[in-house]
Amino acid sequence: MARYLLDSGVLLGYLRASPFAAYIDQHFSPFALANITAISIVTQGELRSLALQLHWGSPKQQALKDTLLKIPYIDINHDAIFQKYAEN
């Protein structure tokens, strides 16, 4: 059982079905039921910012928002997160 906080690059890898995300999924299974995986609210913002920078219309922006709702997100302004970040 493990806890994972996926960064924006890794999440993009999943969303874009990239080989590095396939490697991560195969070796770490972050979305397996026994594991707890979340993204940060910053990642939510970064991905939605990409949608704006790409001048997407509402349907595509909504599709991205709907996908992001499936993944728990947390506020990273927390000592426990800073500590883990420092340790790694």
Residues that bind another protein (CB under 8 A): 1, 3, 8-9, 12-18, 21, 25, 29-34, 36, 38, 41, 46, 49-51, 53-54, 56, 60, 62-67, 69-76, 78-81, 83-84
The distance of closest approach from Cβ of residue 35 to another protein in the complex, given in angstroms and rounded to an integer, is 8
43: how many CB neighbours lie within 10 A of its CB?
Answer: 22
Strand order in the sheet with 3-6: 3-6, 36-40, 73-74
Q: How far is the CB of 21 from another protein (least distance, A)?
A: 8
Tokens for 21? 């995300």
**Could you tell me the smallest distance in angstroms from the CB atom of residue 86 to another protein?**
12
Q: What type of residue is 39?
A: I
